[in-house]
Amino acid sequence: MRPVIVLSEPIHEAGLTVLQAAAEVRVLSQSTAAMLRRAIADADAVIVRLFPLTADLMAAAPRLRVIGRHGAGLDNVDLAAATQRKIPVVYVPRTHGISVAEHTIMLMLALAKRVLRLDDAVRTGNFHLRNQISGAELDGKTLGVIGLGNIGRLVAEKCRGAFRMRVLGYDPFLAPDLSVPADRVADLDVLLRESDVVTLHVPLTPQTRSLLGARKLALLKPTALVINTSRGEVIDEGALAQALHAGRIGGAAVDVYATEPPPSDHPLLSAPNTVLTPHTAAHTEEALQRMAVSIADDVLAVLRGARPAHLANPDVYAP
């Protein structure tokens, strides 16, 4: 009998093909808790993207043998509940770093060069806006990278090489002897005070939640640009919007939000000098294909009785 694999959201066709060759695959037409609960009642595996997989939902799946997280962050999967049931959780930590790094740099440039305002000026017949506003160069400026994991290091490396930026890096969880393309600083306040651009590349944990609140944002230069392609909750979104409205920082570009999609009264939607994208930093053809195939391979590996390549909770294999 073929195993049953449920997908809370669609994945790239390449990964779907891998799964369908070995299993019965069900892709939800709508991502709701009620629909997922019904679908996983007899499932051997479930793969989620952004949909939260709670302990309560897991309890509705007595046959569940493996959970796949289509992405690098694990904050939407109850890892403790899965581990307690000895269910392996697999994920894709290194398949989309290039895409997210490129998106991050695109957001830096869009802010620095005032791209959205200039595009609107041409479309609305305000061509002479070119004589009223100017952009800024990134070349030679100071970049502060918060989080020196795979994506943070890629951003640092590309900005050092392409824009000759001075790069400061803050990551208290990184091994001190690990070589990184940044000048490491032990004090986040120092990085915030000295940086012209600050970009966040941290997972959502109790230590990183609201990492940049009103007090930290007040340390930034009035021309500083803030980029967030990690998780919405790592910045106090209300404090960020207030800083933008007050002109205390130069701009912000955000790809992730504490609530997704953001509600119509989200404070950043009306804030000036912003570039907002809908959690699409990893959404390139290349990255989506790599992620889908990787998660498919690891889910099927567990179902075959093999150890997966990317395991979030290795304790499930402890004797």
Does 117 qualify as catalytic in the annotation?
no
Tokens representing 48 are: 């989620």
Does 283 qualify as catalytic in the annotation?
no
Edge-first strand listing for the sheet containing 274-276: 183-184, 166-170, 142-146, 197-200, 225-228, 251-254, 274-276
Q: List the one residue out of 118, 115, 116, 137 whose CA is nearest residue 128.
A: 118
Q: What is the CA radius of gyration of the chain?
A: 21
* Helix, coil or strand: residue 275: strand
Q: At what angle do helices 285-304 and 97-112 cross, to 10 degrees?
A: 150
Candidate list 69, 114, 153, 231, residue with the active-site label: 231
What is the DSSP code (8-state) at residue 53? B
Tokens representing 118 are: 């200039």
Candidate list 260, 285, 286, 304, residue with the active-site label: 260
Does 233 qualify as catalytic in the annotation?
no
Q: What is the DSSP string of 249-272?
A: SSEEEES--SSSSPPTT-GGGG-S
* Helix, coil or strand: residue 226: strand
Candidate list 65, 69, 279, 310, residue with the active-site label: 279
Q: Which residues are catalytic?
A: 231, 260, 279
